[in-house]
Structure formats: C-alpha cells, structure tokens
Amino acid sequence: REAKAQMPSYKGLENFKLLEKMGDGAFSNVYKALDLKTGQKVAVKVVRKYELNANQRANILKEVQIMRGTHHPSIVKLLSFSESQEHYFLVLELMEGGELFHQIVKLTYFSENLSRHVIIQVAQGIRYLHEERGVVHRDIKPENLLFERIPIVPSKNQIHRPYDEEKEDEGEFTPGVGGGGIGCVKIADFGLSKVVWNEETMTPCGTVGYTAPEIVKDERYSKSVDMWALGCVLYTLLCGFPPFYDESINVLTEKVARGYYTFLSPWWDDISAHAKDLITHLLCVDPAQRFTIDEFLAHPWVNAAPAPPPPPT
Ligand code: ADP
Ligand code: MG
C-alpha cells in the first residue's frame, strides 16, 4: 500500500488537521479534517481565492450566504466560514460516504426501492429550497449528492436483472433500517445556486416593479431546472447510465434541446410503468409542463410502499 500523500498546510486553517483529500474542483480542494478545538471530523472546502476574478469571488460569498440560511436534513450543513489572504475556507458537515456518482458506478444501477429511498431524500431537500427558501440549486447531479456514511450493505437476496450476468454476484444495497442500510443522502455544492422569485407576487425578493419581461419569464421557470436534473438523476439511478449522452458535445446539446431520450431495451424492460411515467413528466422540454416538486412528491411511484424483502434463502 502506498503511503498517504502529504497533506498541505494552509495559513488561516491552523485549527484543523487535514486528514485526506475527498474531492477537487476547478478552484477548490475538499479535505476530510479534524477540528482540533472540538475533536469533530468535518469536511473543509478550500477555495483558491487568487485564481478567482471578482465575479467568482462574489459567487463564493453567495454560496456561503445561501448555505448559512439553509437548515434541512437533506442539505449539507455549513458549519463555519473564514478566509485568509489567499483562500476561502468552508467548513462543512462531513459526508463520509462520498458521492452518489461513485455508488452508481460501483453498483451499475439501483433497484426501484433503493432509487426511491435515495430520490425522496433529494426531493425533500429540493422542496425545502424551492418552497421555504426561494433558492434554486442549479447543479443537481450525482457528484453533488453525498452519502452521510459508506452505504455498503450487499445482499444477494435482492432482485437482480437476469440479462446482466456479470453483475449477478455483486449484490445490492438494502434500504436503511436501524443501523444497517444506505442511510442519508444530502445535497452539496451551492456554487451555482441562487435566490429566485417569490411565487405569489412574481417579484424578486425585496424588489418591486422595474424588472424586464425576459427576466420575469426566465425566473418563473428557473426552479424547473432542478426538476429536470432530478429526472436525470432518477433515470440514472434506475438504469446506471444517463438519459442524454453523446461523445460529440454538439450532438449531446441537440439531444438535450429536443429532449430526445429513450427507455432503452433491455435495461428498462423490467422497470415499472409508474417510474417511467414520472421520468416522462420530469424530462419534459417545456418547463411550464414539467412537474414541480409538489407534483413529484404526489406521484404514485414516489408514494408506493416498498415491496417486502424477499424471504431468506
Ligand atoms: P465544486 O464546486 O468544485 O464541484 P463541491 O462542493 O461539489 O465543489 O465539492 C467537490 C467534491 O468534494 C464533491 O463532489 C465531493 O466529492 C467532495 N465533497 C464536497 N463536500 C463534501 C462534504 N461535506 N463531505 C464529503 N465530501 C465532500
Ligand atoms: Mg460539485
């Protein structure tokens, strides 16, 4: 085994011991760290200030401001924020289980019950953002959905789909009960999020009357971008690949613009009609027709009781 890479040290972050790198982005690194004052394990997002222009710096501060106001079990908590000359430090609730993305890659796809268990948590976070905070996330994707703890509960008793013989032995997660199971999924990364309009008055928070029509039109549907993304995540959970993909970015863009996707056989053959119906209402090109978060939460597939576990063999 290779020795762990040497952790960098940052001026301004002396109260934390960095333990390992958990992720990185264009301008940031995320570390697992120990808060030396409280003994608590946390995640620290270190953003390289000097690589950002004024606009990008303002966006980080907006990310912080939005996260400070959000308190919900399906949303990663911002524990504190500080900055040095060179960096911003976002101290976050630690999500030990990592990205939903990695779990999909590992397992190929989730059963309908497990997909429901995951997507309902994400949807409740979105409902809170849309309806209680007036916030659109705008970057919902499996890389930004994190498991609170490592969700490995392999069970060979779960149904597998016979056409994928290679995957037969890999087992599946079991939805969480008590100490076992898959546990909590939370929404992270508010880097692209923004505050939107008050639904009743159709005015931006705090301002009245002088806004251009194209902005009103845009903003009215801005929450629907999260619903489209939720549809893409659900699709991916159920079959293991995304609804829209092409090696050529131009072709991909065209497919998305037309909403061209299919329930590809054989992968979708055994998936319920209710699940497909729900996805159809999310991956709907016209934002005015697309399901809102309340319509999502009222859909029969979301409200179906999970099937009882198979008898032990
Ligand atoms: P970026 O804007 O660069 O995408 P993110 O906030 O999404 O930044 O963080 C990048 C990655 O770091 C995430 O995709 C995830 O793998 C990891 N990460 C972020 N926040 C946490 C956290 N609170 N706990 C554990 N890992 C995290
Ligand atoms: Mg991200």
Around ligand 1, the residues with Cβ closer than 6 Å are: 22-23, 25, 28, 30, 43, 45, 76, 92-95, 98-99, 143-144, 146, 188-189, 191
Residue owning the nearest CA to atom 3 of ligand 1 = 25
Which atom of ligand 1 is closest in space to residue 27's alpha carbon? 3
Question: Is 286 noted as a catalytic residue in this protein?
Answer: no
CA of 241 to the centre of ligand 1 (A): 22
pLDDT along the chain (313 residues), means of 10: 75 96 90 97 96 92 94 97 96 94 82 92 97 93 92 46 38 41 88 75 57 74 94 95 95 96 96 98 96 97 77 69
- For a pocket test of ligand 1, which of 27, 146, 184 has the largest count of ligand atoms closer than 8 A to its C-beta? 146
Q: Look at residue 208 in the predicted model and tell me its pLDDT.
A: 53
Q: Look at residue 211 in the predicted model and tell me its pLDDT.
A: 73
Q: Look at residue 1 in the predicted model and tell me its pLDDT.
A: 53
Task: Give the Cβ contact number of residue 249 at 10 Å.
Answer: 8
Q: Look at residue 163 in the predicted model and tell me its pLDDT.
A: 32
Choose, from 139, 169, 218, 246, the residue flagged as catalytic. 139
Q: What is the ipTM of this complex?
A: 0.98
Which atom of ligand 1 is closest in space to residue 189's alpha carbon? 6
How would you label 9-31 residue by residue, b for 16+ Cβ within 10 Å and e otherwise? ebeebeebebbeebbeeebbbbb
CA of 192 to the centre of ligand 2 (A): 9
Torsional sign, CA 251, 276, 126, 32: negative
Q: 30: which 2 tokens?
A: 């995320």
Dist. CA 23–CA 92, nearest whole Å: 13
Strand residues in the chain grouped as ranges (E) = 16-24, 28-35, 41-48, 78-83, 87-93, 98-99, 135-136, 145-147, 185-187, 194-195, 197-198, 203-204
Residue owning the nearest CA to atom 12 of ligand 1 = 23
Q: Look at residue 110 in the predicted model and tell me its pLDDT.
A: 86
Residue 155 pairs in a beta bridge with 172
